[in-house]
Chains A and B, each alone.
Chain A
Amino acid sequence: MLRNDPSPSTPRSTKPMDRVLFGDNQFFGVNHMSEEKARAQSMRFQDLQAIIDVLDAAYQEGIRTFMCTSHDRVAQICDHFRANPQKYPDYQFFPCMPYAHKYANAVTEHGMIEALRMFLPQDGAVAAMLKGGMALANKDIAAIMQLLIDAEMKMFHGLSTPVVFMQNVITDLLLGLRMDECFRIFHDHVRARYGAEPGYITMNVPRLLDVLDRLGIDNPIVCANFNKIGFRMCGGIEAYEAAVAQRKFRPVAMSILASGAISPREAIEYVCSKPQIESLVFGASSRANIRQTKALIDELSARA
């Protein structure tokens, strides 16, 4: 099993991803449908044990991959899994970095450079340069990005992290800014240092694929909304369907239920009708919901 022990010699994962991945939005008050529901969830999951209980329920239903942001509280979840390897022998994390509000709030409060400094190792060379206002004078964007990735990966130390995702806010910001080489930097660093496969979460699949193609990033893992009503599938549902059918990438479907706007069976039927979609990520808070969704995915995947 792959463990997140930074070393360039770790073999890279070429294994397929699990069919079903467990998401983390419900744990951190993210709900695209209702702020009230989001608040109720963040109250419920204030207690770490409540989160672990749900992850355990998912695990018992056969879901052994947790796709999660590098939210501060994920560090505690990681501690639990590190402390109980015998209980979860095959468990793996797909970190998604960064938890963007952490950065956004820091930038609002402290300004861009000061915020950057807060997230970099305090004793590092770059931090030292930043202190003197010199850091970015060299414009060594690769070094800074690598340090930021390492900082986010710290909480996953010792755990299996075969795929590491760039969060959509960052992917799409870089995409719009045309800072294409950042995708290459991320790709190379995730592979070299973590022996993991890089993935990109985006709301703009066709546009991102064009850029990754140009960079020569072959068969990338791309996680995006795939749902029957085309919710937040920028470029249009037809363009997404064409991309899935014709282009070489490893799609991971999220927001399958479009925050509840589609009935589960209909929603999962749609995604399972695209055999190229490798994995489906969903989040749920109750055992019954997890079981029902997992069973539907198993049933409809087998049929497809």
Chain B
Amino acid sequence: MVGLGKMGLSHLAILRAHPAIDLVAGCDSTAYLTDILQKHAGLRCYADLDRMLGAEQLDALVVATPSKLHASMVQRALDDGLHVFCEKPFVLDVADGERLAALAREKARVTQVGYHYRFVGAFREAARVVASGALGTIHHVRAEAFGPVVLRRKGGTWRSTKSEGGGALYDYACHAIDLVNFVVGVPTEVGGVVRASVFSRDVDDEVYATLRFEGGASGQLSVNWSDESFRKMSTRISVWGTNGRITADRQECQLYLRERHDALPGIDKGWTVRYTTDLSEPVWFYLRGEEYSAQIDYFANSVNTGRLDGENSFESALATDRVVAMLLGEAPVHPPAVTSAPPRKSLWSRLAG
């Protein structure tokens, strides 16, 4: 695998614990990290991807580097005929994504992007209920993601750098958009886009937009990674149809049906709540959530069985990148709200002049 940052280490732990995967080597340009992993984890490490690919006999590559490096590294892996698991977002430029998806198809390689929410039981349940048609005609969807990533002006990782694929749009919003694509389908238009900085100098911290779907349904996207009131990232999707609504987050799935529906036998009208304890499939190794292990297991299965059209393929992730491109085309980032706004007057002083 290449990229041994926060997400990379989590992947590395899960990959090394998988009984069917032989994690041959790791690659990262940060020497202290690879030195520690070599010395204390017995992992063969490289500082350079080309050198690793040249030296090792590999079947697949896991890419967990900063987003701007995804395209070139995925290209390099596909050129070598490797199956590829790539962290989200897939790529920053839709043209790159189209080229890479085509290349993977041509080479018949397994591809997967790390949209792990598609492996969360409650979100799968939401997708199942919507697909069943039990909600009737879908007319609205709301996708939200809130959490405490950027809480002050200071801070300087790649996540806060525009050119490296930083910002809430590429981080939180991608997950929310992919969840919309997963549960109700891909929006065809976006409008009313707000991309604003709350604290960051260079990137958006909040993203809001209206989504439009074929058939007339609408959607709202609300994303803010500068919200300290959340302990960690919290993502939620709600879908309204003519026969009810469903709301899902990582822990639970709340369904309201106006009338019973043949597509959901055994479910009465009114509220039905199902929890993660009931919806989660067991995994062979647990770290931070079943979904992280489940997606890696799914990838390994795809490689073993030659499944090329599985969940979160490059094609699927490209649909999310296309929505991101639409949002980017719609609106530039507004400057930080915190420092640029003049001191707010109270309502009273404004009324009184």
Chain A residues within 8 Å of B, Cβ to Cβ:
28-35, 38, 42, 101, 104-105, 107-113, 133, 135-137, 139, 141, 169, 172-179, 181-182, 203-204, 207, 229-236, 258-261
Q: In the docked arrangement, what's the CA distance between A33 and B35, Å? A: 40
Which residue of chain B is the closest to A43 with respect to CB atoms?
Answer: B229
Segment of B12-20, B103-111, B187-195 engaged in the interface with chain A = B12-20
Q: In the docked arrangement, what's the CA distance between A204 and B285, Å? A: 6
Q: Are B40 and A139 in contact (CB under 8 A)?
A: yes
Q: Is the interface of A mostly helix, strand, loop or mixed?
A: helix
Q: Is B36 interfacial (CB-CB < 8 Å)? A: yes
List 10 A-B pairs, minimum CB-CB distance, nearest first: A176-B13, A203-B286, A136-B32, A261-B277, A176-B17, A234-B286, A111-B157, A172-B287, A109-B155, A177-B13
**Looking at the complex, which one of A101, A111, A230 makes contact with B282 (CB distance below 8 Å)?**
A230
- Contact of A139 with B251 at beta-carbon distance under 8 Å, contacts A172-B13, A178-B42 already known: no
Task: Convert B101-130 into 0s and 1s, putting 1 for each residue whose CB lies closer than 8 angstroms to a CB of A.
Answer: 000000000000000000000000000000
**Looking at the complex, which one of A29, A110, A229, A235 makes contact with B277 (CB distance below 8 Å)?**
A229
B150 neighbours in A (Cβ, 8 Å): 109
Q: In the docked arrangement, what's the CA distance between A178 and B14, Å? A: 10
Segment of B3-11, B208-216, B311-319 engaged in the interface with chain A = B3-11
Q: How far is the CB of A218 from chain B (nearest CB, A)?
A: 23
Q: In the docked arrangement, what's the CA distance between A68 and B119, Å? A: 30
Q: Is B53 interfacial (CB-CB < 8 Å)? A: no
Mark out the residues of chain B between 192 and 242 whose CB falls within 8 Å of any chain A CB in the assembled complex: 231-232, 234, 236
Q: Are A235 and B284 in contact (CB under 8 A)?
A: yes
Instruction: Give 23 CB contacts A-B under 8 Å.
Output: A28-B231, A32-B251, A33-B252, A33-B277, A108-B159, A110-B156, A111-B157, A112-B6, A137-B32, A139-B40, A141-B40, A172-B287, A174-B13, A175-B13, A178-B16, A179-B41, A181-B40, A182-B40, A203-B287, A204-B286, A207-B285, A260-B275, A261-B275
B151 neighbours in A (Cβ, 8 Å): 109
A105 neighbours in B (Cβ, 8 Å): 148-149, 232
- Among A33, A133, A236, the most chain B Cβ lie within 10 Å of the Cβ of A33
Q: How far is the CB of B197 from chain A (nearest CB, A)?
A: 15
Q: Are A176 and B287 in contact (CB under 8 A)?
A: yes
Q: Is B345 interfacial (CB-CB < 8 Å)? A: no
Q: How far is the CB of B226 from chain A (nearest CB, A)?
A: 11
Which residue of chain A is the closest to B38 with respect to CB atoms?
Answer: A139
- Chain B residues touching A, range: 35 or more
A178 neighbours in B (Cβ, 8 Å): 16, 41-43
Q: Is B276 interfacial (CB-CB < 8 Å)? A: yes
B162 neighbours in A (Cβ, 8 Å): none
Q: Are A101 and B232 in contact (CB under 8 A)?
A: yes
A135 neighbours in B (Cβ, 8 Å): 32
Q: Are B149 and A261 in contact (CB under 8 A)?
A: no
- Contact of A169 with B287 at beta-carbon distance under 8 Å, contacts A109-B149, A178-B42 already known: yes
Q: Is B39 interfacial (CB-CB < 8 Å)? A: yes
Q: Are B277 and A259 in contact (CB under 8 A)?
A: yes
**Looking at the complex, which one of A34, A175, A207 makes contact with B251 (CB distance below 8 Å)?**
A34
Q: Are A109 and B277 in contact (CB under 8 A)?
A: no
A231 neighbours in B (Cβ, 8 Å): 277, 280
Q: Are B16 and A179 in contact (CB under 8 A)?
A: no
Mark out the residues of chain B between 277 and 317 whose CB falls within 8 Å of any chain A CB in the assembled complex: 277-278, 280, 282-288, 290
Q: Are B285 and A234 in contact (CB under 8 A)?
A: yes
Q: Are B275 and A33 in contact (CB under 8 A)?
A: yes
Q: In the docked arrangement, what's the CA distance between A51 and B150, Å? A: 29
Which residue of chain A is the closest to B35 with respect to CB atoms?
Answer: A139
Q: Are B35 and A136 in contact (CB under 8 A)?
A: yes
Q: Is B87 interfacial (CB-CB < 8 Å)? A: no
A169 neighbours in B (Cβ, 8 Å): 287-288
A32-B276, A232-B280 provided; 14 other pairs, C-beta below 8 A?
A32-B277, A33-B275, A35-B234, A35-B236, A35-B252, A109-B155, A111-B157, A137-B35, A169-B287, A178-B42, A203-B287, A204-B17, A234-B282, A261-B275
B251 neighbours in A (Cβ, 8 Å): 31-35
Q: In the docked arrangement, what's the CA distance between A231 and B279, Å? A: 10
**Looking at the complex, which one of A34, A104, A179, A230 makes contact with B6 (CB distance below 8 Å)?**
A104
**Looking at the complex, which one of B231, B250, B278, B286 makes contact with A29 (CB distance below 8 Å)?**
B231
A110 neighbours in B (Cβ, 8 Å): 155-157
Q: How far is the CB of B112 from chain A (nearest CB, A)?
A: 19
- Contact of A139 with B36 at beta-carbon distance under 8 Å, contacts A234-B284, A236-B282 already known: yes
A141 neighbours in B (Cβ, 8 Å): 36, 40
Q: How far is the CB of B150 from chain A (nearest CB, A)?
A: 7
Which residue of chain A is the closest to B249 with respect to CB atoms?
Answer: A35
Q: Is B37 interfacial (CB-CB < 8 Å)? A: yes
Q: Is B95 interfacial (CB-CB < 8 Å)? A: no
Q: In the docked arrangement, what's the CA distance between A177 and B156, Å? A: 27
Q: Is B131 interfacial (CB-CB < 8 Å)? A: no
B155 neighbours in A (Cβ, 8 Å): 109-110
A179 neighbours in B (Cβ, 8 Å): 40-41
Q: Is B33 interfacial (CB-CB < 8 Å)? A: yes
Which residue of chain B is the closest to A257 with respect to CB atoms?
Answer: B277
Q: In the docked arrangement, what's the CA distance between A260 and B280, Å? A: 15
